[in-house]
């Protein structure tokens, strides 16, 4: 999607994994979320003044949503929520084989996601961000086209 529209893709997880800070690396190994101060700084610094971006894995809580809304142009923003059942999430994460992806940590992160997502989406919507749910099952190309349809529907990306 980033290449298709010439947008930058920013992954909060990748920013954290590549930070080169041993303390951050140690926290990532636990599977827990890092302090908001660290995540906000790395992510918002990466965003800069750019509005042509795709954010992956951010915001993960209300504090981060507040920081993001204060930093971006919400009038041209959309949050795409990929809806996927827990079994498929577990399967996909296990295939990645990252340090934070053992079964116990995956189960914790799914529960955390489910507990925190709706308040974040409500906050974003209240502040002008379009929230669109998209079926996240199937092959990547199919999911990509579903996302493209949502972007076109809300006139975020062409063709219009």
Domain positions in the chain: 2-153
According to DSSP, the residues that pair with 135 across neighbouring strands are 83
Beta partners for 132?
A: 80
Q: Tell the burial category of 22 from Cβ atoms under 10 Å away from its Cβ (0-12, 13-18, 19+).
A: exposed
Q: Domain 2-153, CATH 3.20.10.10 — does that match? A: no
Per-residue pLDDT of the chain in tens (160 residues, 90 and over written 9): 999 999 999 999 999 999 999 999 988 888 777 899 999 999 999 999 998 999 999 999 999 999 999 999 888 899 999 999 888 888 888 788 777 677 888 888 888 888 889 999 999 999 999 999 999 999 999 999 999 999 999 999 987 5
Structure tokens, 146: 């579903």
């Amino acid at each position: 999607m980033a290449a298709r529209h010439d947008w930058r893709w920013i992954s909060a997880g990748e920013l954290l994994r590549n930070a080169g800070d041993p303390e951050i690396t140690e926290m990532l190994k636990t599977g827990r979320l890092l302090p908001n101060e660290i995540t906000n700084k790395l992510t918002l610094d990466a965003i800069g003044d750019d509005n042509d971006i795709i954010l992956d894995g951010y915001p993960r809580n209300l504090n981060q949503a507040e920081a993001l809304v204060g930093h971006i142009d919400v009038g041209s923003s959309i949050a795409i929520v990929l809806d996927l059942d827990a079994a498929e999430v577990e399967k996909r994460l296990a295939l990645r084989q990252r340090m934070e992806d053992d079964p116990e940590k995956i189960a914790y992160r799914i529960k955390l996601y489910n507990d925190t997502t709706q308040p974040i989406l409500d906050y974003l919507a209240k502040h002008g961000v379009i929230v669109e749910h998209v079926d996240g099952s199937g092959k990547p190309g199919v999911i990509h086209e579903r996302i493209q349809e949502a972007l076109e529907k809300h006139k975020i990306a062409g063709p219009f």
